[in-house]
Every structure is written in C-alpha cells, then in structure tokens.
Structure 1
Amino acid sequence: MSTPDPAYRRPIDLKHGRVDLAFGAGGQAMAQLIAELFARAFANDYLARGDDAAVLPALTAGERLVLATDAHVVSPLFFPGGDIGSLSVHGTINDLAVMGARPLYLAASFILEEGFALAELARIVDSMATAARAAGVAVVTGDTKVVERGKGDGIFITTTGVGALPAGRDPGGARAQPGDAILVSGTLGDHGMAIMAQREALAFESEIRSDSAALHDLVETLYAATDASAIHVLRDPTRGGLASTLNEIAAQSGVGMLVDEASIPVSPAVQSACELLGLDPLNLANEGKLVLICAPHATASLLAAMRAHPLGGEAACIGEVCIDPQGFVQLRTCLGGRRMLDWLAGEPLPRIC
C-alpha cells in the first residue's frame, strides 16, 4: 500500500465522487486514493513507509504468533450498531481473541465496484480506522482492487490479523471435557436480527442494534480471573449462531452438550422479532459475543468477570458438556422436555458478515 504525495493532481472528491476503474489500475489514480483516503485514515509509521509489506517487531520470548483472516460481504453496508468497516475490524480481532491471542496488527484488502460512492467509501474507511484505534490495533498494510460496474456489490473487505499468544494459553475446539460449564457473554441473535430488520425495512417497537464489538479486552479479563488451563474453549458464535457453534465444538471434542433454554439470554426485542418471523435466535449470527467452555471449578469466577465487564453484563451459564459418543447437543426446553439443538440448515440471513 504505497502512499505517494498526491500533490500532482487535484484532491479526490470524497463527498460526491465515484469509484473509477483507474482507482484499481495501479497508476496515479490508485496512488492518490491510497494517499488521500486509506493512508490518512490508518496513519502509522509502518504504513507510511509505503512498502509492499510491513516489517513488524519481534515477539517476546515465549509468545507465539497467531494469524487470522476473514472476508466481509455484509448487506446492507450500514446497519444499527455498525457497518461493514467496523465489522471487518471486529471480526478479525475476535478470531484472534478467541484463540487467547492479543491482537497486534491488521492488513486490509478492498474490492470496490466501479461507480461506488466515494462518500460511502470514506465513511466505511473512517469507521474501520476508529474501530482499529479503539482496539489499539494498527492497519499496517493492504491492497485495493476495482471491478467493473455490475460485477461486484459496492465493496467487499478482507482483513487479516496478527496476534501474540502468551505462554500457557491454549484454548481450542477440541478441548471441551465432560463436566465443563458452558458460558455465553450476553444476549444472542442481536446482529443477525439487526441486519434482517435493516435489509427488509422492518420496524419494531424497540430498535434492534448489532452487538458488533472487539472481544479481546473481555478475553484478557477472563484470563486474569483464573488460571489459563481452566479456559478450555473460546469461540465467537457468528454465522450459524450458538447452535452451530456448539455442534462444531462437540464434533471437535467428541462430546455431547446439554443446554438449558431458560438460561440462554435473548433480548425481548429479538425474541419477539424471531417469533413474528419464525426464526430461532439460537441460529442467528452474533458479532460481539463469545462462548466459553471452562473447567467446573472456574465457572463462578469467570461468570463474575464477564458480568463485571462492559461487554458481558448479561453473561450466563447455559449448560454443561456431557459424555455422548454421538456428539449430540440437546436443549432442555422451558416445558421440561428435550430436543436436539442441531446445526443451522441453509442460510436464513444471507450476507450477515
């Protein structure tokens, strides 16, 4: 992502202008877009060098590198509680955080469609920059491509993150054990329903906002509350929601799970909207919640740590891991019966992240 001086031509009209094919052609127009928009928004010493990659400081002894990448194609681009820009930062930071890593740096790749409004692009980039600064993470390199009109959908963003995993931390989907407690950090389904409401112009009595947020500080709080070995699994239940996430972990670990429906936090607004639309909140995407599976002795301290954090005020213990060679996830219903909590079949909410 080179950042030459744009003085050779008049400034780009970021208020009324449109993306042009020349912005992705590798010439002066592309260099000017990078200098006047991306480099200005993400300003840091690594990016200012203008090289093809960033040379980063070595990690301290005992820490391991963690790398994560994610593509973001949400529609609509702007929604209550966020937009594709902040979402692209939060999504990759969270992929690092649930591995126990401290996020350090981000790379960003933009695929733009010819004719996309530069004002909207600037708004998205500014949102990304704000989210990255708030998380203490620098966007240190990137790439921009432009496709012909009609061959894209405005903007797609891919972000790649680098993090540092401190010694002693080793959460993973294959580490759930019978007897472990299953915790969630707050209400479920907020992001998926916010996208649905915005896309379909649905009006509810209470506005439903996306929960999009960076989870790394919450994860650090959890590790400070107990010994690292007690935290067995961390996962952010994005596409497919809680149901698919628990089934994925159960399959990785070769265990079963029993979850209490009455203990699962869902906001009244999301619950009402799901009943109206025939959707299950446990299948809806989340972008600012985590699932934690931990040793039983650490349940109380971790739940208290969650609830004391701004992102975990409605945290709850929702069930436990059990022995089950079939790897079934079962839901103990409010009526006292049990039903299978299965993987999401199909995709009720396309383009949610």
Structure 2
Amino acid sequence: MSERERNLSGSWQLNCPVLLLTTSDCVTLAHGEGGRLSRKLIQECILKTLQPVSSLCLNDAAPLPRSERPLAMTTDSYVITPLFFPGGDIGSLAVYGTVNDLAVSGARPLWLTLSLIIEEGLPLAVLERILESVAQTAAETGVQIMAGDTKVVPRGAADGLFINTAGVGELMDPVPVGPDRIQAGDELIVSGPVGQHGIAVMAVREELGVEPVPQSDSGSLFPAVENLRHKLGARVRCLRDATRGGVSAVLHEWAAASDMTLSIEERLIPVTPEVRGISELLGLDPLHIANEGTMLIAVEQGAGAEAVAELQGLPGMSGAQKIGEARERGIAAVTVRRTLGAEQPLADPLGSPLPRIC
C-alpha cells in the first residue's frame, strides 16, 4: 500500500487484513440520513453479512422469546484503536466482551444488540470485514443478534468505528454469590497469562516492532465458566473478567466489597515472555494491563486445586494458576509478595497505561 493510500484510509488501516485501494467505496454522511443510501447500507451490507446469526428486522423493537429463568442484562461500548489488532478486531471484541460480562455474572448468553457509530470515510470493505467477524464470533459463542442501530458522524468524530452492545442471558444455577461474600481462606485463581490484550494493542498502535508479535487473549470465557459451574457448583464465590485496569482493578474492587485483604504471590502469576519483556522495557506492571479473555476467580478454601485442574484441561487455559488468597483485613486492601522482596501493597492505578484498548 502506498503512503497516499494509507493516509486516505486513516488510522483504521493499521494492521488491517483488508487491502484498501483509493477507489474503495466509503461510508458517507448520506448513509446515516435514513434515506435510500441508509437502506442500502443496512440491507446490502449489515443484514446480508449478519444474516446467519441475526433476527434483525427494520422494526423499532425486536420481540424476545419467553425465558423460564431469570434474565441478566449488560451493556458495553467499544472504542478501540486500531480497529484490527493481533488476535482480533473491534467486531469480535464487541461480541466476546459482552458474552464474557454475562458469563462471569452466571448467565448463559442468548441475545445481543449491535449499534454502529461509523465515521464518514470508513471504507465499506473494512466495515464488511468487521461485520463478518461479528457474525463468526456470534456463531461461535451461540448468541443471536436481535436489534441494532446505525449512525454516521463527520470525519474526525469517531476514529473509524465505535460499537455499542447490549447483551441478555438467562441465569444458571448456582449463580455466584458475589465478591461481598468472599471469606478468609478463599483462594484466588487467574485463568491464564495476564496482560496479553493490552500489550498486543500497544505493540501495534505504537509500532514497537517486537518479534514475535504479542497476541491478544480476546476470546469467550463462557465454556470455562460452565465447566466450573458443573464441577464446583456453589464453591465458586465470584468471577470477573479482568479488562480495563487488569487483575489489580478486580482485586481492589473485590477487597472493597468483601472488606478482606486479598494477597497474591508475584511468582505464581502467569505472564508470557512477550508480555514480560515489553512490560519490563516500558516500566509497566502486567497486573495493571488489560485482558479480554482472562478472568479472576474466587473459590472457597480447599477448592483451588480442583478449579485449576479443571481450567487447565480446557483449550487455551493451560496457564491457569492459583495466585493468592483472602485473609482478614489488614492495613492494605490488596498486597503482593514480590519475587525478590517482601510483601507490599499493590497500587490501585488512577488510570490505564494505555487508553482505548476496548
């Protein structure tokens, strides 16, 4: 691709698998005005691509089937840059992120909404590739897209594409009781290596040129949650996907909810060589870096080994480890015993070292 073509295509081109030509059709403001071009975009691009996993229609609301179980609902917005990153893209991320929020809340994901805020000038080839990713990921996770919306904003207002979702799922017994029920002696488990998503996005956004290229852990947590539910039942206290703020943010939220001190061991925390190397080079702590397919789990005392063994037997979770435990509240809410030092408080950062990662 020439420099001129790269400039025309904008920041969404970075690491994009779609070759864009200067003659590519692009989204215009007219596509968002509700007229003929709007209908063309919806029918020939969006509906056509999402058809296998969608009940989208042009009505103002979608009827949902009756459920015999209580329902859970979540909503999220995705503003990641670049739109394509090693291991995923904004489309798959939007589906996985919403499914994971439902899964760790004890719900089986069923239905999604999909709202697109598109920047004028986004190549239709890029939009189609992202919608294909949405469809593939929805099929993989077993969710159906029930409703949606499309808006087009002027150049410079949306960085290519923003996606908003809502997800609905049915709660499955037993529903995790929540972090306020964590007790002294409960064991803390991480489902896999930490920091992969944030480092993967940083490597491509900042063009670090590292080899091998770090890969995001973006993926569905529902199969793992289902296995833990069947194997451990009510011995699972709570689960949380460690997205923005990483493992550290989850630990601090849980410590506040439970009024316990949560203590972890640095030597037990799984970190890939790529994430460790880049983190050390940039002075970052992997515990503060975002994940998109890794969760933190609290189980009752004595259930940790069984939970880890169950997770390690699942695809992509061989790195699951017990990393610490809960104890009666001390001076610090969260502590970490560093590999070469004494136990110390784990900082709760004011902000993310890398914004716009989801």
CA contact (8 A) 1:46 1:54 kept: no
319 and 19 in structure 1: CA distance in 2 versus 1, 3 angstrom threshold: same
| 4+ long deviations beyond 6 Å | none
1:111 is aligned, of 111, 117, 121, to 117
Match of 1:217 in 2: 223
How far did residue 233 of structure 1 move?
Answer: 1.0
TM-score in terms of structure 1 length: 0.92
- Equivalenced residue count is 337
How far did residue 149 of structure 1 move?
Answer: 1.6
Match of 1:320 in 2: 325
1:186 is aligned, of 178, 192, 214, to 192
Match of 2:248 in 1: 243
Deviations, residues 51-88 of structure 1 (Å, cap 9, x unaligned): 2222111112xx21000110000011101000111001
CA contact (8 A) 2:271 2:286 kept: yes
Q: Which amino acid aligns with 2:64?
A: L
Instruction: Kindly report which structure 2 residues correspond to 1:180-329, keeping only aligned pairs within 5 A, or say none.
Output: 180-227=186-233, 229-324=234-329, 328-329=333-334
Mapped pair 1:168 → 2:174: yes
Deviations, residues 81-135 of structure 1 (Å, cap 9, x unaligned): 0011100111110000110110001100110111111111111111111111111
Unaligned runs of 5+ in 2: 1-20
TM-score in terms of structure 2 length: 0.91
CA contact (8 A) 1:99 1:171 kept: no
326 and 162 in structure 1: CA distance in 2 versus 1, 3 angstrom threshold: farther
65 and 255 in structure 1: CA distance in 2 versus 1, 3 angstrom threshold: same
How far did residue 326 of structure 1 move?
Answer: 5.1
CA contact (8 A) 1:101 1:165 kept: yes
2:86 & 2:54 partners in 1: Cα distance?
A: 33
1:100 is aligned, of 87, 103, 106, to 106
Q: CA RMSD in A?
A: 1.6
Q: Which amino acid aligns with 1:262?
A: R
Instruction: Kindly report which structure 2 residues correspond to 1:64-103, keeping only aligned pairs within 5 A, or say none.
Output: 64-103=70-109
1:325 & 1:145 partners in 2: Cα distance?
A: 50
SS at match of 1:74: coil
Deviations, residues 202-246 of structure 1 (Å, cap 9, x unaligned): 12232200000011111101111112x211110001000111110
Q: Which amino acid aligns with 2:328?
A: I
Mapped pair 1:19 → 2:19: no
CA contact (8 A) 1:255 1:327 kept: no
1:69 & 1:39 partners in 2: Cα distance?
A: 22
Match of 1:42 in 2: 50
Unaligned runs of 5+ in 1: 1-12
1:171 & 1:26 partners in 2: Cα distance?
A: 46
Q: Which amino acid aligns with 1:220?
A: E
Q: Which amino acid aligns with 1:233?
A: C
Q: How many percent identity over aligned positions?
A: 45
2:343 is aligned, of 326, 338, 342, to 338
1:273 & 1:171 partners in 2: Cα distance?
A: 37
Deviations, residues 316-349 of structure 1 (Å, cap 9, x unaligned): 0000011116561000111240111121222210
Greater shift in the superposed pair: 104-113 or 294-303 = 294-303
CA contact (8 A) 2:108 2:171 kept: yes
Q: Which amino acid aligns with 1:176?
A: I
2:147 is aligned, of 136, 141, 150, to 141
CA contact (8 A) 2:288 2:352 kept: no
